[in-house]
Structure 1
Amino acid sequence: MDWQSESPELWAFLGSLHRGETLSGTVAAIERFGVFVALDEGPEHPVFPGVGFITIPELSWRRFEAASDVVQVGQRVSCEFLQFDTWNAEARLSLCATQSDPFQAFAECIAVGQELRGRVTKRVPFGVFVQVADGIEGLVHRRELTSTSVEAPEDVVQVGDDVTVVVTEVDRERRRLFLSRRQVSPDLR
Structure 2
Amino acid sequence: MPEPSRDPRLEALINRLRPGPVRTVRVIGFDGTDVLVRFVDAEGEEAEVGRIPLREASMRRAEHPSELFEIGQEIEAEEIGRWREGQLHFSARACEVPALRSFLLAMGRGRVVTGTVSGVHDFGVFVHLDGEPKGLCTGFIRVPDLTWTRINHPSEAVEAGQRVTAEVIIAETRSGQVTLSLKALREDPLIRFADQVGQVLTGPITKIIPFGVFVQLAPEVEGLLHLSELTDEPVETPDQLVEEGELLTVRVAEVDLQRHRVRLSAADGADRP
| Alignment TM class, shorter chain as reference | 0.7 to 0.9
Residue 154 of structure 2 is aligned to residue 64 of structure 1: no
Aligned length: 182
Amino acid at match of 1:30: V
Q: Is 79-88 or 19-28 further displaced after alignment? A: 79-88
Amino acid at match of 1:25: G
Asked if structure 2 preserves the Cα contact closer than 8 Å seen for 1:45 and 1:51, the reply is: no
Amino acid at match of 2:105: G
* 1:137 to partner: Cα distance: 1.1
Q: Which one of the candidate residues 104, 117, 134 is aligned to 2:219?
A: 134
Asked if structure 2 preserves the Cα contact closer than 8 Å seen for 1:38 and 1:44, the reply is: no
* 1:6 to partner: Cα distance: 3.6
Report the counterpart of residue 81 of structure 1 in structure 2. 168
* TM-aligned CA distance change 1:52 to 1:45, over 3 Å: farther
Q: What do the CA deviations read for 1:101-160 (whole angstroms, capped 9, x no partner)?
A: 11222224x122x110111122222211111112211111111113x2332322321222
Please say which structure displays the higher CA radius of gyration: 2
1:5-20 maps to which residues of 2 (within 5 A)? 5-20=95-110
Report the counterpart of residue 150 of structure 1 in structure 2. 234
Asked if structure 2 preserves the Cα contact closer than 8 Å seen for 1:132 and 1:138, the reply is: yes
* SS at 2:234 equivalent: coil
Query: Gaps spanning 5+ residues in structure 2: where?
Result: 1-58, 60-91
Asked if structure 2 preserves the Cα contact closer than 8 Å seen for 1:129 and 1:140, the reply is: yes
Residue 126 of structure 2 is aligned to residue 36 of structure 1: yes
| Aligned counterparts of 2:183 and 2:145: Cα–Cα separation in 1 | 6
* 1:44 to partner: Cα distance: 3.0
* 1:8 to partner: Cα distance: 1.4
Residue 268 of structure 2 is aligned to residue 184 of structure 1: yes
Q: What do the CA deviations read for 1:11-56 (whole angstroms, capped 9, x no partner)?
A: 121022211011111111112211111111231354xxx2111111
1:44-123 maps to which residues of 2 (within 5 A)? 44-46=134-136, 50-108=137-195, 110-112=196-198, 114-123=199-208
TM-score, normalised via structure 1 length: 0.87
Asked if structure 1 preserves the Cα contact closer than 8 Å seen for 2:145 and 2:183, the reply is: yes
Amino acid at match of 1:32: D
* 1:84 to partner: Cα distance: 1.5
| Aligned counterparts of 1:174 and 1:24: Cα–Cα separation in 2 | 27
Amino acid at match of 1:150: P
Query: Gaps spanning 5+ residues in structure 1: where?
Result: none
Query: Greater relative contact order (Cα 8 A, min sep 6): structure 1 or 2?
Result: 1
Asked if structure 2 preserves the Cα contact closer than 8 Å seen for 1:81 and 1:94, the reply is: yes
Q: Is 3-12 or 87-96 further displaced after alignment? A: 3-12
Residue 111 of structure 2 is aligned to residue 21 of structure 1: yes
* SS at 1:65 equivalent: coil
Amino acid at match of 2:175: N
| Aligned counterparts of 1:118 and 1:42: Cα–Cα separation in 2 | 45
Name the % identity. 42
* SS at 1:185 equivalent: coil
